[in-house]
Amino acid sequence: MADDRHHEFAARLASICAVPVTPMDAHREIDLASTRRLAEHVAGSRAGTITVGGSVAEFLALTARERLDVLAATVDAVAGRTPVLASVGGDLGSARQEARAAGAAGAAAVMVHQPLNPFRSPAGWVIYHAELAAAIAPLPVVLYLRDPAIEPAHLAELSARSPNLVGVKYALPDGLAAFTAAVGERVVWLCGLAERATPDAWAAGATGFTSGLVTVDDAAPAALLDALRAGDAAGVQAAWAAASPFEELRARRGGAASVGVVKTALVQRGVIADATVRPPLTPLDADEVALVQALATS
C-alpha cells in the first residue's frame, strides 16, 4: 500500500512542482477566497504537484494555524486534481505535529524546510529528517536541500534510513551530479532553483523542477518540461528564454523582489486580490510594478 502510494506520488512529482504564494489582504491577513482562486487556477495548469507553504509562500511569516488553514483551502479547491504538499519545519516536535495534521487535512506529502539552527551539524541534520520521516510514515516526504555543509554521503544515509523519502528539492547552485550518483533514482530529483537553473540540473539527473511562474502562466514551464523530456535542445533554449525575463524580475534586489513579483503578476491577472507581503519582505516599488505590467503585456 505504502509502496504504491509512494510510486504514484513520485510519478507526479517528476514534473513541474508549483509553489504558490500565500494571498493576503491589505491588513496582512490571510485571504482564503484568493487562496482558493489561486489553487483552482494552478490545478488547471500543467503542474504535477502543488506545494503549500514554500519559501515564496512566506512560510516563516505564517503561524502554524495559518499554514494549516491555507492547506485546507487549497486541498478543498484542488478537489483531488493535483497532489498537494504541505511544508513543515522549525523545531522537530512542531514539525511532527504539523505534518500529522497536514496528512489528516488531505496533504499527499510533506516538504521539509531546511533546518535554520545556526549550530546544526550534518549528523544532526540526518537525525532531524530521519526522525520526522519515521514519525509520519507512510506519508511521503520531500526534502528541501540548500545547505552546502550536507554531502552526498549524508543524504545517502538519510535515504537508507527513511523509505518514505521520495523526493529531494535541490536548491544549491551546483553539485547535484554527486548527489544523484550517491543516491540514484530511489528519489525524485527536483531543481529547486526554478526554470533558469533547470536545464543544467536536468543534465545532472533532475526529472522535475519547482516553479512560481507556473502559478501565473504555465506556457513557458510546460514547454520547458516537454522539451527536456524529449531531448529537444532548441526547444529547451526557447522555453528557457521565454521564462527568463520573469525570473530576472524575481531576482532583483538579491531575490527580495521574488514574492512581490509573483503576487503583482497574479493581481494583474485577476487571480488574487492584493499583492501585500509581510515583513521582513517589502512590496514592489512603482518602477518594479511597471516592469511586471510591461512583461505581462509584452
Closest residue by Cα to residue 164 from 1, 4, 6: 6
H-only helix segments in 79-151: 92-104, 122-136
Q: What is the pLDDT of residues 162-199, one digit of tens each?
A: 999 999 999 999 999 999 999 999 999 999 999 999 99
Cα separation, 57 vs 60, in Å, equals 9
187 domain-assigned = yes
> In sequence order, what are the residues at sequence separation of 6 or more whose Cβ sits closer than 8 angstroms to the Cβ of residue 184?
none
Output the pTM of the full model: 0.96
Query: From the CB of residue 244, how many other CB atoms can be counted at a distance below 10 Å?
Result: 14
DSSP letters along 23-67, please?
A: -B-TTS-B-HHHHHHHHHHHHTSS-SEEEES-GGGTGGGS-HHHH
41 domain-assigned = yes
Confidence at residue 62, expressed as pLDDT on a 0 to 100 scale: 98
Question: Region 133-155: what's the mean pLDDT?
Answer: 97
For cell 535541490, what's the residue?
170
217 domain-assigned = yes
70 domain-assigned = yes
Indicate which CATH number applies to the domain containing 85: 3.20.20.70
61 lies in which domain range?
2-232
> In sequence order, what are the residues at sequence separation of 6 or more whose Cβ sits closer than 8 angstroms to the Cβ of residue 243?
194, 195, 196, 213, 220, 221, 224
Q: What pLDDT band is residue 2 in, cutting at 50, 70 and 90? A: low
73 domain-assigned = yes
Cα separation, 282 vs 278, in Å, equals 7
145 domain-assigned = yes
As a whole-number percent, the residues of the chain with pLDDT over 90 amount to 96
Q: What pLDDT band is residue 296 in, cutting at 50, 70 and 90? A: confident
Contacts 24+ apart (CB under 8 A), 191-198: 192/144, 192/145, 192/146, 194/243, 194/247, 195/220, 195/221, 195/224, 195/239, 195/240, 195/243, 195/244, 195/247, 196/240, 196/243, 196/244, 196/247, 197/173, 198/224, 198/228, 198/240
Cell of 271: 487571480
Closest residue by Cα to residue 238 from 250, 249, 225, 251: 225
15 domain-assigned = yes
For cell 510514515, what's the residue?
137
Q: What pLDDT band is residue 18 in, cutting at 50, 70 and 90? A: very high
Confidence at residue 1, expressed as pLDDT on a 0 to 100 scale: 37
131 domain-assigned = yes
Cα separation, 85 vs 47, in Å, equals 12
| Total number of domains in the chain | 1
Q: What is the pLDDT of residues 233-278, one digit of tens each?
A: 999 999 999 999 999 999 999 999 999 999 999 999 999 999 999 9
Q: What pLDDT band is residue 4 in, cutting at 50, 70 and 90? A: confident
- Considering the chain, what is the average pLDDT of its residues? 96
